[in-house]
Structure 1
Amino acid sequence: MTCPAQIVVPKPLLAEILQHLPDADAAHLSWLTCDFDLHPHRDHYGYVDDIGATEQALWIVWTDETDEADEADEAEGTEDTPSSPPRVSVERICPSKSPSSEDACWLPLRHGTPHSWTRYE
């Protein structure tokens, strides 16, 4: 099951992406979902585009504003730690191939969740 986290990409960040990828579809990039399977960490990665033939991709990375610890803090009335703003990140693509070699993982190298090809095999 994939992670349900979503983000509306802030306009300044979208403008930054479009400077690097002038042919990108702004409407497609204005709203992203996390491309990982369900995961315990708060960082989420939304795929933007490959960077040429470099085995790298451009991602938007964001952090959940709340998690179970934050919800417990809120219940106790303690201060909440602010999340970091979304950012653009260049990440190497995971080189893992499926057992049949028909599919490859397209997640960031250190994704820490099942490889993307496990969804299709």
Structure 2
Amino acid sequence: MTHTIAVREGWIELRYTGVVDYAARMAALDDMASAVNDSGVRRILANYTQATLGDAGDSAGRQDYLSKAIAAASLEEADVALIGLPPDHARAAELAGVVRNMRVKHFGDEAPALAWLLSSE
């Protein structure tokens, strides 16, 4: 498995490990939707610091993933802090957030990401 999800106090951690392609990210999105629905928590830290992104040239996979992320009803109005993503991937996620009325922001480290994520309490 290329991801783990843990419901913390007031936030959810999605941690990716190993080589993560778009199919793995779509599977993680399904698991995240279940965690959000079950917990009611809409503050998410997506941590890519232990992952290597695979399928960099897979534009069809990227479009499918972004479409799925945008359409995910459980993520509407979520706050999502990203760490460890390349800038072009972070920009795409931030744009998807605008479309779905989500606050999405990319950070270099976990501490400021969590501070931002939990500041909306």
Give the TM-score band, short-chain normalised. under 0.3
Q: Comparing both chains, which one has the higher relative contact order based on Cα–Cα distances under 8 Å and sequence gaps of 6 or more? A: 2
Instruction: Give TM-score, length-normalised by structure 2.
Output: 0.25
Tell me which structure has the larger Cα radius of gyration.
Answer: 1
Instruction: Give TM-score, length-normalised by structure 1.
Output: 0.25
- Structure with the higher fraction of residues in strand conformation: 2
